[in-house]
Amino acid sequence: MSPRASAAPPKPPFVARKALPKKPKRVARDVALEYIRRLEETYPDAQCSLDYRNPYELLVATILSAQCTDVRVNMVTPELFARFPNAAALADAEPKDLENRIKSTGFFRNKTKSLLGMARAVVDTHRGEIPRTMDELTHLPGVGRKTANVVLGNAFGQNEGIVVDTHVTRVSFRLGLTRETDAVKIEHDLVKIVPREKWTLFSHLLIFHGRSICIARRPLCESCPLWDLCPSSLVIPVK
């Protein structure tokens, strides 16, 4: 996941800022589009980091990824999918057995309830097939808008919304794309700026950027391809 050479590497003269601004300035749409262009150039392989082969596997992996890293989920799912290859098999799982298999992803009791509830509803209401609409997906137990967006965008290729996770929340705030902190309100701001055909890709770009450069503790602005446009940049060009 190492980023390619940035589109606009910072070169002196610039001045360094000590701390991130509390309320970064909102940027105009043309700046946002330039962000996307540069991020696409920097992360040409940006995609979903969860391993899956079909919508069922992605839905299960996404439920498991709550409060857990994708790397950890990817360690658990191969055996899980071998034992429970579809919703019908998962619906018949013994809760204790399932808990033990997913224990290392954390919150395993709640996740077991969600997985069993989801699988049973898929079998009872959708003949064992993962549904393809936001409304149907979010009616499944344990499936919220974020999880539904992941499945629709990645497994079905439908840009129904933008996935807002912790990286998207932090990076979009720093970039001046939103001033909101609530995921639904952030998504509302982002869909107004980002072209619809890029909604799914856009969250992968921000997630890749948030993991490698715009990290939570201290962003690496001096290595950032957006340093000269970002209102939070710790390196500021001298005019």
State the amino acid at position 237 in one-letter form. P
Is 146 a catalytic site residue?
Answer: yes
Q: Where are the beta strands (DSSP E) in the chain?
A: 14-16, 235-237
Q: How far is the CB of 157 from ligand SF4 (least distance, A)?
A: 28
Site for ligand SF4 in 166-195 (CB under 6 A): 174-175
Is 165 a catalytic site residue?
Answer: yes
Smallest CA-to-CA distance from 85 within 120, 56, 115, 118 is with 56
Q: How far is the CB of 129 from ligand SF4 (least distance, A)?
A: 40
Q: Is 38 in the site for ligand SF4 (CB under 6 A)?
A: no
Q: How far is the CB of 234 from ligand SF4 (least distance, A)?
A: 6
Candidate ranges 42-50, 90-98, 155-163, 212-220; the one touching ligand SF4 (CB under 6 A): 212-220
Q: How far apart (Å, rounded) are the C-alpha atoms in residues 127 and 104?
A: 31
Q: Is 214 in the site for ligand SF4 (CB under 6 A)?
A: yes
What six digits make up the tokens of 24? Answer: 């970064």
Q: How far apart (Å, rounded) are the C-alpha atoms in residues 117 and 142?
A: 7
Site pattern 93..112 for ligand SF4 (x: CB under 6 A): --------------------
Q: How far apart (Å, rounded) are the C-alpha atoms in residues 162 and 184?
A: 10
DSSP per position, 24-43: PPPPPHHHHHHHHHHHHHH-
State the amino acid at position 20 in one-letter form. L
Q: How far is the CB of 69 from ligand SF4 (least distance, A)?
A: 21
Residue from 70, 103, 113, 165 carrying the catalytic annotation: 165
Q: Specify which residues 236 forms β-bridges with.
A: 15
Please identify which residue in 66, 118, 137, 224 interacts with ligand SF4, judged by CB under 6 A. 224
Secondary structure of residue 105 in the 3-state scheme: helix
Q: Which residues bind ligand SF4 (CB under 6 A)?
A: 174-175, 213-214, 219-221, 224, 226-227, 230, 232-234
By annotation, the residues acting in catalysis are 146, 165
